[in-house]
């Protein structure tokens, strides 16, 4: 049975040029709208790789991915050599990534490091399991509480490992699932099957110059985000 995030047609705001966060002769980064796949899938859905390639009129090469219902920074290489060099940084964990997450239940601690063991389950779901499970991989993240509105709470997430659906599974495991993420415990889906998780920043070393590149993606428009961000929790930190 299809889930909302896999089956619901989605309209995306603006044009590809409006999504560009960074570009040079080696790389291009976009602020991906929630609901847009990063690469082609079996259903031949619209995807950022093909849209981006049409925009720059050349082939692009994926460096990393975001889940389809997630928004935020996505980086592509324009050359295979650049793809290799930045991918190696991801593998070496020298790339810094932060996310903003909207949850319905505030965690009991305002700041903590979560460690779980995750295995791939049925139905494109990652399951939190025991350390003794030989199929499981260690997943670690750090979260920090930022702000609250009348109904929701904003967390800043720093990934320390890179597992499939890691943030979604770990926040669900502590009873604070992402807004709209019915796969991991939230009671209601969002319109279009998207979830309120945003890849906010990405920092890496440029594949040619070696200079540190720091990218930041503006958060999606909408009442939920606007209800949390005016309190200045994110802006004051940067």
| Residue 121: alpha-carbon gap to chain centroid | 20
The enclosing H or E element of 199 equals strand 197-205
- For residue 236, the 8-state DSSP code is G
Please list, residue by residue across 92-114, b when 16 or more beta carbons sit within 10 angstroms of its beta carbon and e when fewer do: eeebebbbbbbbbeebeeeeeeb
Catalytic residue among 24, 59, 67, 150: 67
Interatomic CA distance for residues 67 and 73, integer angstroms: 12
Q: Which two tokens stand for residue 35?
A: 């609901």
Q: What phi and psi values does residue 221 have, to the nearest 5 degrees?
A: -75, 155
Whose tokens are 């702000």? That residue is 147
Q: CA-based angle 196:220:73, to the nearest 5?
A: 85
Q: Is 236 part of the annotated catalytic residue set?
A: no
Collapsing DSSP to helix, strand or coil, 68 comes out as: coil
- C-beta of residue 118 within 8 angstroms of C-beta of residue 136: yes
Provide the residue count of the chain: 238
Please report where in the chains the tokens 């209800």 appear, as a residue: 227
Q: Which residues are catalytic?
A: 67
């Amino acid at each position: 049975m299809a889930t909302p995030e896999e089956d619901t047609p989605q309209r995306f705001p603006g044009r590809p040029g409006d999504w560009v966060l960074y570009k040079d002769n080696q790389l291009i980064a976009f602020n991906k709208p929630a609901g847009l796949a990063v690469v082609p899938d079996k259903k031949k859905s619209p995807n950022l790789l093909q849209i981006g390639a049409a925009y720059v009129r050349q082939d692009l090469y994926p460096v990393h991915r975001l889940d389809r219902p997630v928004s935020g920074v996505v980086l592509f290489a324009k050359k295979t050599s650049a793809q290799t060099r930045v991918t190696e940084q991801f593998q070496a964990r020298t790339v810094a990534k932060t996310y903003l997450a909207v949850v319905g239940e505030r965690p009991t601690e305002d700041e903590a490091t979560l460690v779980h063991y995750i295995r791939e389950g049925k139905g494109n779901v990652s399951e939190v399991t025991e350390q003794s499970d030989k199929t499981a991989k260690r997943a670690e993240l750090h979260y920090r509480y930022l702000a609250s509105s009348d109904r929701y709470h904003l967390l800043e997430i720093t990934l320390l490992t890179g597992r499939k659906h890691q943030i979604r599974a770990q926040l669900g495991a502590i009873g604070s699932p992402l807004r709209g993420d019915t796969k991991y415990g939230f009671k209601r889906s969002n319109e279009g099957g998207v979830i309120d998780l945003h890849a906010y920043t990405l920092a890496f070393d440029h594949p040619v110059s070696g200079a540190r590149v720091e990218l930041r993606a503006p958060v999606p428009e909408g009442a939920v985000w606007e209800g949390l961000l005016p309190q200045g929790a994110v802006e004051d930190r940067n």
